[in-house]
Structure 1
Amino acid sequence: MKLCFFGSSLVSSYWNGAATYYRGLLKALAELGHEITFYEPDAFERQAHRDMADPDWARVVVYPGTADGWKRALEDAARQADVLVKASNIGVFDAELDEALSDIRSPALRIYWDVDAPATLEEMAATPQHHLHRVIPRYDLVLTYGGGRPVIDGYRAVGARDCIPIYNALDPHTHFPVQPSQTFAADLGFLGNRMPDREARVDTFFLETATLLPDKAFVIAGSGWDDKAMPPNVRRIGHLGTGLHNTFFCSTLATLNINRASMARYGYSPPTRIFEAAGAGACLITDRWPGIEDFLEPDREVLVAASAAEVARHVADLTPARAEQLATRARHRILADHTYAHRARDVDRLLNGRLGKRETIGTTGKFGKIEAAE
């Protein structure tokens, strides 16, 4: 089927944490025979910071970041689509696209795909006049890249016909073990952009840990950290293209995952970094959030911490042999249960069922049956 997807960017990860999610899932759907067209705006200098050429498994349409640009792109998509997708947080004309795609005259299945569902639901709860209150009920389906039962219930409460999480995963052809580099060598590494609802947690779980362990080396990569005050044992890398992510993950004794605040509150929202770092063979330490055990087993496949003191204790106690043991188990688990091939098969069954019946149905996946909305 023809799937037309409006998202932030497929070809650039610059200020675009969802890039590898889009790539992994849409590539896997293309391998199942779906025809993918990805529409992205020319905005935020992403085209100047491409880290991927147009892939052979998708047609990429870069439209001007203007009112006329998105309207022409949507007209193009509506003429051909079997499935029309509007992702959250494109960054320009989001509200306009949300409205227009939800109400477009087309036989296509219309999907709102939220790549930051906990934050979206909290924003809607705080803003009674938010446009999504009237828009969400018009979509045929809401998909999210995490959130579990709290997100499902939250979206149904605001009128979604149905909500189904499609979790992040690993593309083993993109993230895999490589040789380490002294450029990124450290005892603990963190890769993530500076975001308002994550910065305080980075302060706690990463920078406070560095203060507690002055004899250990720390490295932080991602955009926005240049003017952030940091302990002297923290080295900044700046924006890191996806082509260097494997090397980054393989060069530190351990990699730290830090969820954004809303994702930690809702739980069941493993970021892409969890799967990508494990796929590259990294030893993972993560902040604590509900549902981690559904993806990786604590103390056997991942180390879990509820405070800087606990992160510091993990780092202080970690030996290369223990780190390798944890990393190997995590990679095996991810490859067995959490690749984008797994996720794409779930989406493929879902789309075929919806297009075949055009009625609200449930789906059965790895995390149990999700009942249809009434």
Structure 2
Amino acid sequence: MSDRPLRLVVLGLSLSSSWGNGHATTYRALLKAFAARGHQVLFLERDVPWYAGHRDLAAPGFCDLALYRDLGELERWQPAIASADAVIVGSYVPEGVAVGDFVQRIARGVTAFYDIDTPVTLAKLARGDDEYLSAHQIPRYDLYLSFTGGPTLARLEQAYGAPAARVLHCSVDEVAYAGLDRRKRWDLSYLGTYSDDRQPVLETLLLEPARRAPQLRFVVAGAQYPPHIAWPSNVERLEHVPPAEHPGFYAESRFTLNVTRADMVRAGHSPSVRLFEAGACGTPVISDVWDGIDALFRPGEEILLAASAGEVLDILLGCPEGARQRLAKAFQQRVLGAHTAAHRAAELEAHLRAAMRRDHHLAREQAAT
């Protein structure tokens, strides 16, 4: 099969709004780089009120973006879905099971599920929760793209019947997330939407250090934090930082904190997009600990790991500026050398073309019998 440009349709949670989700920045980086490889992309997004009031990319220049109000309105895009070389359905799409059934029924090209939340998805399926994906759909997707690597890929194939489970980690647009020279406002920052399972770790690795070291400055940026949280006086709160302001946010942080959701810690091999964004901006990261992080970064040389408030404070109070800058430089080099959107777009293209070849060979075998 020739390596002609591909026509790709993506039905994802959001491209237009980064408010309260990490999907938008992931899709923006990946699809911008994918389009730069010469491919055509259509992104179909459910028009929901909580994103409608917070759109920060209403007209992307790298792909076509269309909003649909309900499943009935989605049907108007049936010709584009049917004729595409590949169609990707993403995790957390509203009425995702119905959307997936629709795609699997009409798409003539490769169909793929892109799971930016794989451990959460599998935990949901184990509980019988089919919020956006049903177990019966997994074998019918030609490709399962998982932001989680490691043993989870074998589990998807062996336990759920995925024909091809492939890792597709998040990434960073290295042009949009370039390092800036800014005065440091905070000793430790955190950027992330509230979640119940992350909050205890945030409490341990940021709020408790803030209480113990009132002379240091901290910030927590993100939406949906409940009003009952008692923020120490040296912790600044920002409700939302749009992607265009992320580089400045990181540049004004001596260190930034990575906190991983509980299901992803249990699965391991689940790097957050915030890791790559901070790295591209040249900001060193203090991360919680999970299996597989040492396969991505060298602990102590490119990233620092902490499991307690005391360990965080040892870093903030004991790391000389020269050592901090060397750490930041090494981390940045690793991210730019292996984890940019250009890297992921090449991986995505390779996965889609491999699935197209498998479908082509299968069709020929069926025709010969």
TM-score, with length taken from structure 2: 0.91
**2:85 touches 2:109 (CA, 8 Å); kept in 1?**
yes
2:215, 2:14 → 1: CA distance? Answer: 40
> Is the CA contact (8 Å cut-off) linking 1:161 and 1:360 kept in structure 2?
no
> How do 1:97-136 residues align onto structure 2 when only pairs under 5 Å count?
97-102=99-104, 104-127=105-128, 132-136=134-138
Could you give the per-residue CA deviations for residues 290-328 of structure 1, whole angstroms, max 9, x where no partner exists?
111222111111111122222222112123322211111
Deviates more, 1:253-262 or 1:197-206: 197-206
Match of 1:271 in 2: 272
- Mapped contact 1:354–1:360 kept (Cα < 8 A): no
Q: Deviations over 1:143-197 (max 9, x none)?
A: 012x212221221211211210111122111101123267xx1110000010233
Superposed displacement of residue 345, structure 1: 1.3
Cα deviations by residue, 1:254-274 (Å, 9 ceiling, x for unpaired): 101111111111111110000
**C-alpha offsets along residues 60-113 of structure 1, whole Å, 9 cap, x if unaligned?**
01111x23233334x1432431101100112x22221122223x1332101011
What residue ranges of structure 2 are gaps of 5+ in the alignment?
A: 1-5, 363-369
Say whether residues 1:244 and 2:249 are aligned partners.
no
Distance (Å, rounded) in 2 between the aligned partners of 1:62 and 1:144: 25
Change (3 A) 1:144 1:206: same
Residues 99-178 of structure 1: pairs in structure 2 closer than 5 A? 99-102=101-104, 104-127=105-128, 132-145=134-147, 147-156=148-157, 157-178=159-180
Q: Which amino acid aligns with 1:252?
A: S
Q: Does 1:22 align with 2:27?
A: yes
Equivalent position of 1:369 in the other structure:
none
Secondary structure (helix, strand or coil) at the match of 2:135 reads: helix
**1:39 corresponds to which of 36, 44, 54:** 44
Return the offset for 1:41: 1.1
CA distance, structure 1, for counterparts of residue 22 and residue 327 of structure 2: 25
1:337 corresponds to: 338
Paired with 2:139 and 2:350, the residues of 1 have a C-alpha distance of 23
Distance 1:8 1:129, change over 3 A: closer
1:6 equivalenced with 2:20 (yes/no): no
- Determine whether 1:48 maps to 2:50: no
Q: Unaligned 5+ residue runs, structure 1?
A: 362-374
| 2:365 corresponding residue in structure 1 | none
Per the alignment, residue 230 of structure 1 pairs with 231
Contact 2:182 2:251 in 1 (8 A): yes
- Residue-by-residue CA offset, 1:202-227 (whole Å, 9 max, x unaligned): 22222122223222111110112261
Which residue type is aligned with residue 307 of structure 2? A
Letter in 1 for 2:112: I
- The alpha-carbon distance between structure 1 residues 128 and 158, as it changes in their structure 2 partners (threshold 3 A), is farther
Residue 190 in structure 1 maps to residue 194 in structure 2:
no
Q: Secondary structure at the match of 2:113?
A: strand
- Aligned to 1:255, what secondary structure does the other structure show? strand
Give the Cα–Cα distance (whole angstroms) in 1 for the partners of residues 239 and 335 of structure 2. Answer: 28
Q: Secondary structure at the match of 1:113?
A: strand
CA displacement at 1:45 relative to structure 2: 2.7
Q: Deviations over 1:338-363 (max 9, x none)?
A: 111112112212222221331699xx
Q: Distance in 2 between matches of 1:144 and 1:281?
A: 26
Q: How large is the Cα RMSD of the aligned pairs?
A: 2.0
The answer (yes or no) to whether the contact 2:97–2:130 under 8 Å persists in 1 is: no
One-letter identity of the residue aligned with 2:348: V
